[in-house]
Structure 1
Amino acid sequence: MGKLIIAHTPDPDDAYMFYGIASGAVSVPGFEGIEQVVEDIETLNKKIIGGWNVDVTAMSAHGFAYVVDKFYLLRTGVSMGEGYGPMVVAKRRMGLRGLKVAVPGEYTTARLLLRLATGGGYTEVFARFDLIPDMVLRGEVDAGLLIHDAQLTYSDMGLVNILDLWDWWRSESNGLPMPLGVDVVNKRLGRDAALRIRNALQESIRYAWSHEEEALKYASKFSRSGKKIGEFVKMYVNQRTLDMGEEGIKAHQLLLKMASDNGLIDSALLPRMEII
């Protein structure tokens, strides 16, 4: 085969887990090197749902619901929250009903979780995730749904957490980890190639762990805030990332079932979901 095209986000956790592959220390058997495409998560979601025929890509667990017939979901490379996750912040404590809430994209898992948790009742304003805190501070929106490293820095900006989606998810799921981001492989490559890619990504994560200083230095180039990179990476690159396990699989299945039961995704596609 030729080059393997891998797309991921410009976020420290993604950059960290792909460091072994990106640095050339880890190869993917059967492919003559790799080509990286780096785009923000919602851009990737929209391109993939729109028919982009990329080989391997990161995307939101929510976005994956629309392409389960075209991509394998890897057990490896997932971002899952345990004790933390997306949150809604504002300048003061308030309820969401009737408010304008900045949301980081139509197909983000955070958006799906917020809709499931609240049933709606607020006006969505779609915005790039890294712009949301400042939108709240300037009063362009009443509240903002935070993902990525802003979850660690919002209080430094004078914002308060008015809805913690981890608390809601923990109650609804009986303590399962919270699905957020995933890595998927195009089914046209075949199951054997997908398994080789999965194994290489596992090796890439282990390589980053064993070369932490250089992997974090590489990942820091992709941070918007430049703050708390190591803490953020450790939150979202952990043993669940190496292999989500049976609890992780159950969590993804539960999330998509909840979305289907609430009419938020097409239930006809769900039986075609394959996790490898």
Structure 2
Amino acid sequence: MKLTLGISPCPNDTFIFDAMINNKIDTEGISFELVINDVEKLNTLAFRHALDITKLSYYSYVYVTNQYVLLDAGSALGKNCGPLFVTKPEKQKSDFEGRVIAIPGKYTTANFLLSMAFPRITNKVEMLFSEIENAIVHGTVDAGVIIHENRFTYQGKGLVKIMDLGEYWETQTRLPIPLGGIAIKRNIPAEIAQKVNRIVRKSVEYALAHPAASREFVRCYAQEMNEIVRNQHIQLYVNNYSVNLGDIGKQAVTTLFAWAQRNKLIHKINENLFLPLVESLEPPA
């Protein structure tokens, strides 16, 4: 059986999925047709129900809960790893209402958090996440929300932090920040969905046990990033929540959705958000 799989080119995704894509683990008779795109593009593909399995922003998932269910493995959650709202030093104390603010996509968790922390900011421009720093530096926009590896590079470009939006979330909730998750179509048979979750988990575990094994695959999709930044990226976004959401991870995700509902950004969503796990994570003998 072949399933389409959408992931981003970011090091945490290529690190996590390398083993299952490149046949380093048993994929239990399932093969994967890989689709690599920026996360906001993956969000829009999910809105079209175009992929069997996909990485997507947790905030975007609220719009496809009837079509997709969340896997327990493969997520990006954590602490001290959220989006940053940044600008030039001379604008750090500005009132940003009415200013032009770059965001990495309307349906990203980053934009959701900006809306929660700065509800009066409405003049937003969507950009590819990797272009936001330079847009601020060149004055195309007044400020922007950066994600992924740009946490490690913005200071080197002379930019300063207005707010750590992940820290804002953690202060408000005392929970890890839910950034991105892995979802599978609900119309895929339950047995296959369980297999996929098991495969993703084993792929994460393999990557963590053999970090050098994915180096070339990660580098292939992050050639403009030096190895130090690639490794920092992986260490920041791949953790125990990537192996298994657990109760705290699931609480973080449902809290994000509750925030969105309370602020009337979304209406009622499907109650069964997470793939029910079978007792054993091992394939049947």
TM-score interval, normalised by the smaller of the two chains: over 0.9
Q: State the alpha-carbon separation in 2 of the partners of residues 246 and 190 from structure 1.
A: 25
Q: Residues 7-55 of structure 1: CA distance to partner in whole angstroms, max 9, x if unpaired?
A: 1111111000001111111233242x22111111111101111232x21
CA contact (8 A) 1:96 1:122 kept: no
**Alpha-carbon distance, 1:84 to partner:** 2.6
Q: Residues 150-189 of structure 1: CA distance to partner in whole angstroms, max 9, x if unpaired?
A: 011111111101111122111211x210000100111111
Equivalent residue, structure 2, for 1:167: 167
CA contact (8 A) 2:25 2:202 kept: yes
Q: State the alpha-carbon separation in 2 of the partners of residues 90 and 243 from structure 1.
A: 35
CA contact (8 A) 2:78 2:239 kept: no
Q: Which letter maps to 1:148? A: H
Equivalent residue, structure 1, for 2:134: 134
Equivalent residue, structure 2, for 1:64: 61
Q: How does 1:219-234 map to 2 (within 5 A)?
A: 219-223=218-222, 225-227=224-226, 228-234=229-235
Structural RMSD (CA)? 1.4
CA contact (8 A) 1:68 1:274 kept: no
CA contact (8 A) 2:72 2:274 kept: no
Q: State the alpha-carbon separation in 1 of the partners of residues 32 and 168 from structure 2.
A: 40
Unaligned runs of 5+ in 2: 277-285
Q: Residues 249-275 of structure 1: CA distance to partner in whole angstroms, max 9, x if unpaired?
A: 000000001001101112x22424234
Equivalent residue, structure 2, for 1:47: 45
Equivalent residue, structure 2, for 1:259: 260
Equivalent residue, structure 1, for 2:17: 18
* Gap change, CA 1:165 and 1:269, over 3 Å in 2: same
CA contact (8 A) 1:86 1:110 kept: yes
Question: Which segments of structure 1 move beyond 6 Å, counting only runs of 4 or more?
Answer: none
CA contact (8 A) 2:59 2:109 kept: yes
Equivalent residue, structure 2, for 1:182: 181
**Alpha-carbon distance, 1:208 to partner:** 1.3
**Corresponding residue pairs, total:** 271
Equivalent residue, structure 1, for 2:281: none
TM-score normalized by the length of structure 2 = 0.91
Secondary structure (helix, strand or coil) at the match of 2:187 reads helix
Equivalent residue, structure 2, for 1:6: 5
CA contact (8 A) 2:86 2:146 kept: yes
Q: Which letter maps to 2:66? A: D
TM-score normalized by the length of structure 1 = 0.94
> Is 2:100 aligned against 1:100?
yes
